[in-house]
Each structure stands twice: as structure tokens, then as C-alpha cells.
Amino acid sequence: MSAAERKIQKKSVSMPKQNPEVRIRNFNEVALGYNEEQALAEAERCLQCKNAPCIKGCPVEIDIPVFIKLIRERNFEAAIKKIKEKNSLPAICGRVCPQEEQCQKYCTLGKVGDPVSIGRLERFVADWERERGFNIPEIPASTGKAVAVIGSGPAGLTVAADLAKLGHKVVVFEALHLPGGVLMYGIPEFRLPKVIVQAEVDYIRKLGVEIRLNHLIGRTYTIPELLKRGFNAVFIGTGAGLPQFLNVPGENLSGIYSANEFLIRVNLMKAYMFPEYDTPIKVGRRVAVIGAGNVAMDAARSALRLGAEQVYIVYRRSREEMPARKEEIENAEEEGVQFCFLAAPVRFIGDDRGWVKQMECIRMELGPPDESGRRRPMPVKDSGFIVDADTVIIAIGRTPNPIIQCTTEGLAVTQWGTIVTDENGKTNIEGVYAGGDIVTGEATVISAMGAGKRAARAIHEYLTGKA
């Protein structure tokens, strides 16, 4: 039977997951990944389109049809090598990229059925390689140039890997005690196991990258000092790490966390293993999570696992406008997270110890679309109502970390505190580049990696005098 005659399966091979009743009692990974047989069956669905529309949906331009073809041929080693030509963090991207918005959105098969599950296949070969030990590519002779990378999140790690593979000396400065940035402090274990993050970080170390922890650039060293200390270029990838609050009365009551605090305690500090680990977390019976993005879903699902009886998402718009990935919303619903749409808190009410016990919300209705293209929520008059909540998690977004901007004289910054760059990440200071959330505001892991790739290319050209 020729390929043309072969009947293409319209449904993608589903990926096994932990049952909701079981998984809400643990922090183990929810999605279990394809086995070899499932991966081969899914790879078989790929049409191997000549024009490869999927590639244009990939911010790091992975040669998707080729790696899928290699999976089909059971040449997993070559498949992962193909991916790693472009992406040094495949096990991470295979798990947390919003593929439905990227590569899979353009998949030809998507017009007649499910698109090929490109992300799951990426994850499969990445895990296959990690379990067997990484292949380290040959690194060219040193160029004698040194680059300082600030921040070890997705953007910084990508820049570091790409420049190390070109023979530059790279030192990554990380402010926290573990490398990985948002991959470590933000995304929960049950979506992205931390051993996988550390394994991919170790791969980057094996490319020759040095990572210095506990270095807050702006305080330990400033950017002008780094340039003076012999670094020929600097890349700023400090992300969007500052929590936003609602600025309503009672928001500083105890029991009200920023999503960042909640997730840092749980993920980075492993508070879900308290008191074996020293950092505590306290979750009440009724938890309200304000906001409906991926971070809100992560916080809500973490709260359930920490023993909350009821967790509900409070969102000022409706279901259609929720910014979280569909997959994450489905996971949250399966686990029993409830949703309260078209409502917004206006005040938090505490007990005599200063602990939150209730919040007052108002009803919202949707008006005409705003500048984001989503319908603008408008308060309904006299619609206030009281909701019981003994824990509240504010997950309404994060803003750029200001410390570099404040300590780097002359660096051009927007009114929102993001750093101004050209399309290749070049800032207004010679030799200083930036990329990821610090330039765009809060976005995705893969878009930060895409920015990192472009910046690495530009830095390489700058260092080799081709710029």
C-alpha cells in the first residue's frame, strides 16, 4: 500500500494521563508521555508536507517533518539530534509549549482532523535521549570572546547554549539558588518535573556554559561592571518576575498570596513536602484564585493538591476569553477546580487576627472589545456579593523585573518598564542585548527562546565583527 493510499487516522494518538482522582493527591507529572508504539503511530500520521507549514509556526524553527520522519524510521537518536540543532530544551518545550497556537496550528492534517501531536513527539524523543544520556555535540575552538547572560530562564539558557556551541565563553548569572528561572519557580512539578529542568540545564553546562548562582545583577555586579570585567557582550533575560496586585482594600491580609509567592514556595522551595523541607505553605478550605491564565491554573491545581476542599477561579471575563491553554483548563476542570466568571473582587475582609475570611465581588458584563481584542469587562451597578475564602491567590499577571533598568545608566526602557530592543534583541547600549519577557512583557517559554535564538545570532555577528 503506497503512502497515498494509506488511510490517515483523523484522531491523534491520545497520551496517557494520571487519573484525576489519583493525581490531585500527588505532585507527580500528570501527562505520562507516549511510549514507543504510540509515538510511532502518531509519527505515522504526519503527511510530510513539502512546504512544511508547521515550521513557520515554530518560534525556534525546528525542522519538524524531518524529525518526525526520523521517528518513523525509529532513528530516535537522529530525531533528537535534528531537534537539538535548533532547540536545546526539547523535554521542556515538549511539555509546556502551547503547540496548539504554534506548529500544530498550521498542520495540514488539522484541516480534516486532529493535527499531528508534534509536542508529544518532541517530548518522546527528548525523554528517550535523556534516559540514555545526552550526546554532547563537538564544540569548536574558543573564539576568545566572553558573554555574560543575566538570568537562567528560557531566554538566557537558549542564548547560552547557542553561543557556547559557536565557541564563545558563556557565564550565566542567576539570582536564585537554582538555575531555570520560571521553569523552576513558576511551573509546577506536575506539569514540568524539576529533575527534567535540571537535566536540560546540565546539558547546557556540558556545552561549556558556566552558571553562577546567587548573583543578582544590579546588586552583586552591574552591567557596566560586567563589561569592564572582560565580558565582550551581555544578554539580559531577567523575565517578568514581579507580581501584580489588584490594589483593593484588604489585599495585605494574611492568607492572600501573589501567585508568584504561592508558586515559589511550592515549586522552588518544595513546600508541598513541608516539614521535610523547611519552607511552609498554608492553604485553607476554600481557595479563590483571581485570574484565568496558565499561572492561575497552576496555582489552583497546586492548591487542590495541598488539600483545599474547594478551589475556584474568579475571572472578570467569561469562559471564551480565558487566556490559559485549553489543555490546562481541561486538566483543572477534570481535577475539580470550579469557575466563577464575570466577577471581580473589590475588597477583602479579614478576621481579628488579620487573616482573610471573605471577599466582596461585583458582577461584570462584557462591553465592546478593548485594545487586546477581547471584550472589555464592565462592572454591573449594585451587584456586590460576598464570597467565603480563607485563602486567596492573586494571579493577574507579572511585570518586568526593574533592577537592571534601575542600575544600568542610559538603558532605554518603555513606560511599562520593558527594555527597548530591535528585532534581534539589540539595546541602545553597545554590546548589550535583551530578550524574552523583559522585552515583551509576560509571554511564553518558547517565545522567550525564540528571542534568545535571534539575540544569540546577533551577538555572534557582533563578536565576530560581522554586525
Q: Toward other proteins, which CB reaches closer, 16 or 280?
A: 280
Query: Whole-number minimum distance, CB 349 to other proteins, in Å?
Result: 14
Q: Toward other proteins, which CB reaches closer, 6 or 219?
A: 219
Query: Whole-number minimum distance, CB 17 to other proteins, in Å?
Result: 30
Query: Whole-number minimum distance, CB 158 to other proteins, in Å?
Result: 21
Q: What is the DSSP string of 305-341?
A: HTT-SEEEEE-SS-GGG--S-HHHHHHHHHHT-EEE-
Q: Toward other proteins, which CB reaches closer, 59 or 239?
A: 239
Q: Toward other proteins, which CB reaches closer, 276 or 320?
A: 276
Positive/negative CA dihedral, 145, 149, 155, 161: positive
Q: Toward other proteins, which CB reaches closer, 156 or 377?
A: 156
Q: Which three cell numbers stand for residue 181?
A: 528561572
Query: Whole-number minimum distance, CB 280 to other proteins, in Å?
Result: 4
Query: Whole-number minimum distance, CB 274 to other proteins, in Å?
Result: 7
Query: Whole-number minimum distance, CB 265 to other proteins, in Å?
Result: 6
Collapse the DSSP code of 374 into the 3-class scheme (helix H, G, I; strand E, B; otherwise coil) and give the result: coil
- Closest among 426, 364, 203 to 435, alpha carbons compared: 426
Query: Whole-number minimum distance, CB 98 to other proteins, in Å?
Result: 23
Rg (CA), the chain: 23
Q: Toward other proteins, which CB reaches closer, 330 or 351?
A: 351
Query: Which whole-number Å values give the CA distances from 88 to 8, 68, 385, 453, in the listed order?
Result: 31, 17, 50, 10
Q: Toward other proteins, which CB reaches closer, 159 or 175?
A: 175
- Closest among 414, 430, 434 to 422, alpha carbons compared: 434
Burial class (CB in 10 A: 0-12, 13-18, 19+), 366: middle
Give the interface with other proteins as residue ranges (CB under 8 A). Answer: 175-177, 185, 213-216, 219-221, 241-243, 245, 247, 251-252, 254-255, 257-258, 260-261, 264-265, 269-270, 274-280, 282, 353-355, 401-403
* DSSP letter (8 states) at residue 16: P
Helices (H), 24-63: 36-44, 53-56
Query: Which whole-number Å values give the CA distances from 26 to 281, 306, 307, 416, in the listed order?
Result: 16, 9, 10, 39
